[in-house]
C-alpha cells in the first residue's frame, strides 16, 4: 500500500516554504475570498495531473489558471478586448474569472482539457498572491474539495477531503464570499456568464453597457454546458436537500416535526425564533443572502460530516443579484427539489 503523505498546515508567514513545495511539483491548497483552491504549478504537467487524482475530478474538466498579476496572464493570452480590459481594471483582484483564447500550445492540455481557451483568475487574498509571486509561476486552482462535494470554505474542510493526498494547506481563516467566482467567457463576440458568482449579472451588464448572455449556465440535462464542470453532480451531501421558499417555512417545520429520521435545518436566524421542532438540528445562515452564501457550503458539510442527518431543509432566496449564485449552488445540491406544502397530509 502507498504510504500516506503528511499534509502540513502553513500559516501565512510560511508561504516561502509552501511556494518551494509548489516549485517541487507538490500540491498546496490556498485561501481565496471565494473558496479554498487546490494549487499546483500550472506549467508542470505531472503536478497538474495529480490535482485531478487528488480531487477525483474527470480529466475533461479544465482548470482555472490563478495568477498574481496581469503580466503573468499575458504570457498565455493572445488578445484582450477593450471590455475585458475594463473588467480587469474594475474587478481584479476579485471574485471574477475570465475566459480568453490562448496562444496555441502556451498551456498544457492537462490544464485546458484540450480547449483553445483558458480561464484566468486573480484572487483578492494577498497571502495567495504572494504565494504565487514566490512560486514564480501561475498555479491551477480548482476548488480544493473532493469532486462532487461542497467547495471548502475553511482549511478544516480542505483537510477533511485532502488529508494524506496533498503536501499542505495555507490556512488564512474562513473565506468571506463563500461561493465560487463568477465566470465570464470573453472569448466570443458577446460576453457570457458561465457561472454566477458575487460579481453579479446585473452589475456586469450595467458596468459594461453592452449585451451579456446570462442564461448560459441554465442548461438542461441533454445539452453540453459551456463550462464543462457545470455538467457534473455537485455540492451534493449524503442527505436529501429540500429547498424551502420563504413563505413555506411554517409548513416545512410542521412536516419536519413529523419525521422519524433526523432533519437538519439551514435557515436565516428568524426561522429559529418560533416553534422550532425538537427533533430538528439548526445551522444558522445569518440575516441576508450574503451571510447565507458565506455559510452555505459549511452548513452542507456540517450536516454531512459532523451532525449527520437524513434530510436537510435549506432556505431559498430570490434569484437575483447574489441570490442567483446562491440558488445555483443550492439547487445543484438539492437536485432541484423544493419543499412542497402538499408533502403534508
Ligand atoms: O472561486 C473560484 O473560482 C475557485 C477558487 C479556488 O479560485 N475555483 C474554482 O475552480 O471554482 P473549479 O475548477 O472548481 O471551477 C472552475 C470552472 C469549472 O466548471 C470548469 O469547467 C470551468 O471553470 N472552466 C475552466 N476552464 C474553462 C474554459 N476554458 N472554458 C469554459 N469553462 C472553463
Ligand atoms: Mg469546483
Tell me, in angstroms, the distance from the centre of ligand 2 to residue 70's CA: 23
**Domain boundary pick from 168, 185, 208:** 208
* pLDDT score, position 237: 86
Q: Looking at the structure, do residues 159 and 264 belong to the same domain, yes or no?
A: no
Whether residues 322 and 176 share a domain: the answer is no
One domain, residues 272 and 177: no
CATH number of the domain bearing residue 322: 3.40.50.11030
Q: Is the residue at 231 inside a domain?
A: no
Looking at residue 151, what DSSP letter applies?
P
Domain boundary (155, 187, 208) is at 208
> Was 117 annotated as part of a binding site?
yes
Cis peptide before 93 (omega within 30 of 0): yes
Q: Are residues 197 and 73 in the same domain?
A: yes
Q: What is the CATH number of the domain that holds 30?
A: 3.90.870.10
- Asked if residue 146 has its Cβ within 6 Å of ligand 1, the reply is no
Question: What is residue 221's predicted lDDT score, i.e. its pLDDT?
Answer: 47
Contact at 8 Å (CB) between 99 and 190? no
Annotation-wise, does 129 bind a ligand? Answer: no
CA 61 to ligand 1: nearest atom: 21
Pick the ligand that lies closest to the CA of residue 148.
2
Are 137 and 40 a contacting pair, CB within 8 Å?
no
Q: Which of 39, 64, 175 to mutate to test the pocket of ligand 1 (most atoms within 8 A of CB)?
A: 64
Atom of ligand 1 nearest to the CA of 36: 6
Choose among 60, 28, 31, 68: nearest CA to 44: 28
Residues 270 and 163 occupy one common structural domain:
no
Per-residue pLDDT of the chain (345 residues), as tens digits, is 566 799 999 999 999 999 999 999 999 999 999 999 999 999 999 999 999 999 999 888 999 999 999 999 999 999 999 999 999 999 999 999 999 999 999 999 999 999 999 999 999 999 999 999 999 999 999 999 999 999 999 999 999 999 999 999 999 999 999 999 999 999 988 999 999 999 999 999 999 998 899 877 665 545 555 665 555 567 888 899 999 999 999 999 999 999 999 999 999 999 997 779 988 999 999 999 999 999 999 999 999 999 999 999 999 999 999 999 999 999 999 999 999 988 876
251 and 203 fall within a common domain: no
- Tell whether 1 is covered by a domain: no
* 203 and 278, same domain (yes or no): no
Tell which atom from ligand 1 comes closest to the C-alpha of 145.
14
pLDDT of amino acid 215: 74
Near ion ligand 2, which residues have CB within 5 Å? 143
Q: How far away, in angstroms, is 258 Cα from ligand 2 center? A: 36
Q: What's the number of domains the chain is made of?
A: 2
Phi-psi region of 42 (alpha: psi -120 to 50; beta: other; left: phi over 0): alpha
- Cα separation, 152 vs 155, in Å, equals 7
Is 141 close to ligand 1, i.e. is its CB under 6 Å away?
Answer: yes
- Based on the domain organization, do 199 and 128 belong to the same domain? yes
Domain span including residue 283: 240-344
Which cell is 51 given?
A: 490535482
This complex has an ipTM of 0.99
CA distance 117 to 203: 25
121 CB less than 6 Å from ligand 1?
yes
In 35-115, where does DSSP find H-type helix? Answer: 45-55, 70-74, 82-91, 109-112
* 226 located within any domain: no
Q: Is residue 151 part of a domain?
A: yes
Do residues 36 and 198 touch, judged by C-beta distance below 8 A?
no
Place of cell 475594463: 86
pTM value is 0.95
Residue 85 maps to a domain:
yes
Output the pLDDT for position 211. 85
In a domain, 235, yes or no: no
pLDDT of residue 273: 79
Give the pLDDT confidence score for residue 31 in this predicted structure: 98
pLDDT of residue 226: 61
Both 252 and 178 in one domain: the answer is no
User: Residue 135 falls within a domain, yes or no?
Assistant: yes
In a domain, 227, yes or no: no
Which protein residue has the closest C-alpha to ligand 1 atom 28?
118
Does the C-beta of 67 come closer than 6 Å to ligand 1? no
Residue 295 is assigned to a ligand binding site: no
Pocket of ligand 1 contains residue 77 by CB under 6 Å: no
Amino acid at each position: 500500500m502507498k504510504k500516506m503523505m503528511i499534509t502540513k498546515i502553513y500559516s501565512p508567514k510560511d508561504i516561502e516554504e509552501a511556494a518551494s513545495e509548489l516549485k517541487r511539483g507538490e500540491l498546496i491548497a490556498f485561501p481565496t475570498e471565494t473558496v479554498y483552491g487546490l494549487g499546483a504549478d500550472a506549467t508542470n504537467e505531472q503536478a497538474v495531473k495529480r490535482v485531478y487524482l487528488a480531487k477525483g475530478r474527470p480529466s475533461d474538466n479544465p482548470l482555472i489558471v490563478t495568477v498574481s498579476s496581469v503580466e503573468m496572464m499575458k504570457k498565455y493570452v493572445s488578445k484582450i478586448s477593450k471590455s475585458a480590459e475594463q473588467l480587469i481594471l474594475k474587478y481584479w483582484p476579485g471574485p471574477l474569472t475570465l475566459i480568453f483564447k490562448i496562444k496555441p500550445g502556451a498551456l498544457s492540455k492537462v490544464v485546458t482539457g484540450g480547449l483553445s481557451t483558458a480561464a484566468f483568475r486573480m484572487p483578492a487574498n494577498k497571502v495567495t498572491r504572494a504565494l504565487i509571486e514566490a512560486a514564480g509561476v501561475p498555479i491551477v486552482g480548482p476548488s480544493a474539495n473532493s469532486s462532487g462535494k461542497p467547495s471548502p470554505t475553511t482549511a478544516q474542510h480542505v483537510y477533511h477531503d485532502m488529508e494524506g493526498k496533498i503536501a499542505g494547506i495555507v490556512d488564512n481563516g474562513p473565506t468571506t464570499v463563500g461561493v465560487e467566482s463568477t465566470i465570464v467567457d470573453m472569448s466570443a463576440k458577446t460576453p457570457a456568464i458561465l457561472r454566477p458568482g458575487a460579481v453579479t449579472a446585473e452589475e456586469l451588464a450595467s458596468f459594461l453597457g453592452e449585451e451579456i448572455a446570462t442564461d448560459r449556465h441554465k442548461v438542461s440535462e441533454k445539452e453540453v454546458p459551456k463550462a464543462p464542470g457545470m455538467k457534473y453532480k455537485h455540492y451534493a451531501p449524503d442527505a436529501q436537500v429540500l429547498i424551502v421558499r420563504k413563505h413555506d417555512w411554517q409548513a416545512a417545520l410542521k412536516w419536519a416535526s413529523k419525521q422519524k429520521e433526523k432533519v437538519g435545518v439551514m435557515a436565516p436566524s428568524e426561522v429559529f425564533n418560533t416553534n422550532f421542532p425538537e427533533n430538528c438540528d439548526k445551522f444558522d445562515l445569518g440575516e441576508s443572502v450574503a451571510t447565507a452564501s458565506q455559510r452555505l457550503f459549511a452548513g452542507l458539510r456540517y450536516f454531512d460530516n459532523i451532525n449527520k442527518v437524513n434530510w436537510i431543509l435549506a432556505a431559498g432566496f430570490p434569484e437575483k443579484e447574489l441570490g442567483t449564485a446562491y440558488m445555483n449552488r443550492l439547487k445543484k445540491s438539492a437536485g432541484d427539489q423544493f419543499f412542497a406544502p402538499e408533502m403534508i397530509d
